[in-house]
Structure 1
Amino acid sequence: MTQMSERHTAKVIGVTVAAAVGGFLFGFDSSVINGAVDSIQGHFELGSFFTGFAVAIALLGCAVGAWFAGRLADRWGRKKVMLLGSVLFVVSSLGAGLAFSVPDLMLWRVLGGLGIGIASVIAPTYISEIAPARYRGALASLQQLAITLGIFAALLSDAVLQNAAGGASNELWLNLEAWRWMFIVGVVPAVVYGILALLIPESPRYLVGKHLDQEAADILANITGEVDPHERVTEIRLTLRHESTASFDDIRGPKFGLQPIVWVGIFMAIFQQFVGINAIFYYSTTLWKSVGFTENESFTTSVITATINVGMTFVAILFVDRIGRRILLMVGSLGMFASLLMAAIAFSQATGSGDDVVLPSPWGAVALIGANLFVIFFASTWGPVMWVMLGEMFPNNMRAYALGISTAANWIANFTVTLSFPPLTRSVGLWFLYGLFAFFALLSFFFVRSKVQETKGMELEEMHT
């Protein structure tokens, strides 16, 4: 039993916020490319396919990082793996900012992707393990809030740097173009993340798995306010009996080689990307320029969208532990379907061709409203709730592998959307792509309704296959 005094509540929130800075880096590094896409394309003279590949290749690193993060965390501990992510972020930010060729840029982007993949697994794992059940949904949602703040900070810094230089391709400081500084400023939050990782306590579940029961009990008593921390340690140990021999066999099952609960996690992760959220956050500046917005208007619109993303994440934090995960997901699916359909209809009215495409009145406003309504529904539901679910829905004996494979699926789906978006925009048009995203949003509603179980208020030790 946990008795949360104000002092313990503050401590839990403090360590959660510190861990969630990994989410900030996740959002920052994945979206900072937004303002640099056109400049990279022009500087390195890339076609639409290779432009998409230069953006998307980081996501391959993300998938690899996500796959190995869980096992590294079980072997080294959560804190050491957070430090590894911090170092990868620092090196990647400097390398990408100073890149002299396309292969060089891609190398640093992949390295940064490894860091993002690590952060995407470790933060929700750590938060779900340190947070009491009654507050876990809200605290785990802080991870998504941090991601949205990272996206906002990246797009805002892109806009500020672009404006200061008079264009993303113009030189700013030290004879380096503004788009290069967009990457380099990522060093600052990466260093902060590393420092915070040194200051927070280790996960009690990791410590119990390493037979450090007294240390785990001290953390449970001092941070979460457990009335009987030793009894809690015993409960954790009972669920971790097979942890020392955890392997891929733990997630094997009768449904196409995996346990049904693992497939649920995989498809939730895929649906979160196949609704097209990162088509907006990776390419929004390019997207709005493609339908007649000026460069300044496009950067400003991207920042406004990111601001909405941050604000609506608070809705999920307020309601995820009150009305539950499942209802939020279904409401979000229907809202995303309607708003994406609105945007698809608007984009179908575009006139012109090549670089001279415009949305006639009132369709420009309709597209903008539809896209931002989509962000509202995504940010208040699927954005945070999917990560909350992945952090808590799997039994302890399979959590590391199941979370790793589900998160890797999320990044592979992200890679697929990101790589295909630029060439498909030219070949089939934005209206078709947004119609396809709307279809997946509708499909996700029926998936959640039939396959996803509620986890609100349940302890991690109560999760079963």
Structure 2
Amino acid sequence: MTSTTARRKSNTFYVILIAGAAALGGFLFGFDTAVINGAVVAISKAFNISSWVTGLAVSLALLGSAVGAFFAGQIADRYGRIKAMVVASGLFTLSAIGSGLAFGIWDFIFWRLLGGIAIGVASVIAPAYIAECSPTHLRGRLGSLQQLAIVVGIFIALLSDYFIAVSAGSAEKPFLFGIAAWRWMFWTAVPPAVLYGMAALTIPESPRYLVAQGREPEAANVLTKILGGNVLEKIEEIRQTVMREREPKFSDLLRRSGGLLPIVWIGIGLSVLQQFVGINVIFYYSSVLWRAVGFSEKDSLTITVITGAVNIMTTLIAIAFVDKFGRKPLLILGSIGMTLTLGTMATVFGTAPVDAAGNPTLTGSAGMAALFAANLYVFCFGFSWGPVTWVLLGEMFNNKIRAAALSVAASMQWVANFVVSTTFPPILQYFGLGSAYGLYTIAAAISFFFVLFFIKETKGIELEDM
């Protein structure tokens, strides 16, 4: 092995290490959004609250995420990417402890809101940091680490909920030290939250942030570890594209004639469509679906865990192919697959007979068709819109506007998530499951044309040339 090859291998290993540490924020983002799944019923009984307050307890964290995402860019540009990660770690830790200790529903909502802000910050910082620290030929795969971390976080949260609920007999029953099982579900987030802060303190600051701050010798050190060889030319490139005279402002996102820059609108469209195809309905409300097919509560939880595992497998597929095939082909394939599978679910649910409670009753082949289509849908989302959206958001904006534009796009993603999550129960109640999935089918079909006409391929292009 030549010394150049050895150096390149050690550089690649170093980049994977620092990108993995940043992606821990994604793990907590997935864990924190999914961990409430197993606790919802127990919380509503423990605090004796109505269904709409329960809905608020679940979805207000998403609005907190929108707030966190919106301000994350400013924090990252002013204080650096690393300090923003440490702040997110502290908020995650406080939220996990507080949610488990909650005395009533309103302080519980406060702690969840705090966790939501942390999720929002992490959802912006990780993709920006990973894109800024990755060599061009690895950027797609490393950017996909964010989505991999999110889906692993969701999976581990569902798994720990399942383990705690089964060990205690139910989420409402006492678990360790006689404390209710649902409280332990939130406390399981404390160790990874602390680890995230510790990992953030061991990785270098983004070279692009360092150049923007006039700290070029430090930037040269980091780039040497990432790229190897002579990095002076790279620093000059970054210096050309980063405006050092002033901090980036949200006004940078506006055109002279008024209104947002077209690229910012494309980022918002990408974010909103990722949510409007209804992926989180599968994860937040999957028990409705599986119970309708005739599964018990325990089996519904098991299937949800299996769906989480499918999500991980497909994200690994995306990581393998995103730098070979490119971003656009994967999105187009995903849009076609989601339109067909969601259309199948809409048809099956829309034509199924309903029971006295108004739930569709699926028997025989119809039940299996829904089950198969739902998992195939997760597969299609998992190799395309799940990870590729984060890869594109990390790299489609130029250096001058990246942090600010990512903040706007990510905060709109959380608002879209909030809209989908809060409208699903009333759509289900008044129009039925078929109509709900019909709407998501339309969004999936729109996503196909959106990619076709508006998304430019970013594979192999330097961030400085965006």
TM-score normalized by structure 1? 0.96
Residues 43 and 293 from structure 1, CA distance in 2 versus in 1: closer, same or farther, beyond 3 angstroms? farther
Of 69, 74, 85, 2:72 maps to 69
How far apart in 2 are the matches of 1:180 and 1:271? Answer: 34
Q: Is the 8 A contact 2:343 2:438 kept in 1?
A: yes
Structure 2 Cα separation of the partners of residues 220 and 183 of structure 1: 39
- Tell me what 1:340 maps to: 342
Verify the 8 A CA contact 2:77 2:248 in the aligned structure 1.
Answer: no
Cα deviation 1:64-121 (Å, max 9, x = unaligned): 1001111101111111110111111111111111222221111111100000001100
Q: Which amino acid aligns with 1:404?
A: S
Name the CA distance, whole Å, in 2 between partners of 1:112 and 1:285: 24
Alpha-carbon distance, 1:281 to partner: 1.4
How much does 1:255 deviate? 8.3
Q: Where does 1:73-112 land on structure 2 (aligned, <5 Å)?
A: 73-112=76-115
SS at match of 1:168: coil
Residue 181 of structure 2: aligned partner: 178
How far 1:51 sits from its partner (Å)?
A: 2.5
Q: Specify the code of the residue in structure 1 equivalent to 2:22.
A: A
Q: 1:176 to 1:283 in 2, by over 3 A?
A: farther
* Structure-2 residue corresponding to 1:116: 119
1:290 CA drift (Å): 5.0
In the TM superposition, what is the alpha-carbon distance from 1:396 to its structure 2 partner? 1.1
Matched, 1:231 2:233: yes
**Displacement of 1:422:** 2.0
Question: 1:55 offset after TM fit, Å?
Answer: 0.8
- CA distance in 1 between partners of 2:184 and 2:345 (Å): 33
Distance of 2:306 and 2:386 partners within structure 1? 17
8 Å CA contact 1:62, 1:411 repeated in 2: yes
| Match of residue 38 from structure 1 | 41
Q: Distance in 1 between matches of 2:221 and 2:142?
A: 21
Query: 2: distance between equivalents of 1:335 and 1:32?
Result: 28
Distance 1:261 1:356, change over 3 A: closer
Aligned partner (choices 119, 136, 139) of residue 136 of structure 1: 139
Conserved? CA contact 1:22–1:193, under 8 Å: yes
Question: Equivalent of 1:155, from 147, 153, 158?
Answer: 158
Shift of residue 366, structure 1, vs aligned partner: 1.6
How far, CA to CA, are the matches of 2:387 and 2:187 in structure 1?
Answer: 28
Alignment pair present for 1:197 and 2:200: yes
Partner of 2:377: 374
Say how many residue pairs are matched.
461
User: Which stretch of the first structure deviates more once superposed, 406-415 or 344-353?
Assistant: 344-353
SS at match of 1:409: helix
> Percent identity of the aligned residues?
50
The alignment's C-alpha RMSD in Å is 1.7
- Deviation, 1:353, is 3.3
- Contact 2:11/2:228 (8 A) holds in 1: no
Whether the 8 Å CA contact 1:90–1:187 is kept in 2: the answer is: yes
Task: Give the unaligned 5+ runs of structure 1.
Answer: none
- Shifted more, 48-57 versus 450-459: the winner is 48-57
Judge conservation of contact 1:328–1:381 (CA < 8 Å) in 2: yes
Aligned to 2:449: 446
1:50-449 to structure 2, matched below 5 A, reads 50-222=53-225, 224-241=226-243, 244-253=246-255, 257-289=259-291, 291-348=293-350, 349-354=352-357, 358-449=361-452
Is the partner of 2:175 in helix, strand or coil?
strand
Structure 2: tracts of 5 or more residues without a match:
none
Conservation of the 8 A alpha-carbon contact between 2:344 and 2:370? yes
Quick one: structure 1 residues 113 and 16, their matched pair in 2 at CA, closer, same or farther if it must change by over 3 Å?
A: same
Q: Is the contact between residue 351 and residue 360 of structure 1 (CA under 8 Å) also seen in structure 2?
A: no
Q: 1:84 to 1:283 in 2, by over 3 A?
A: same
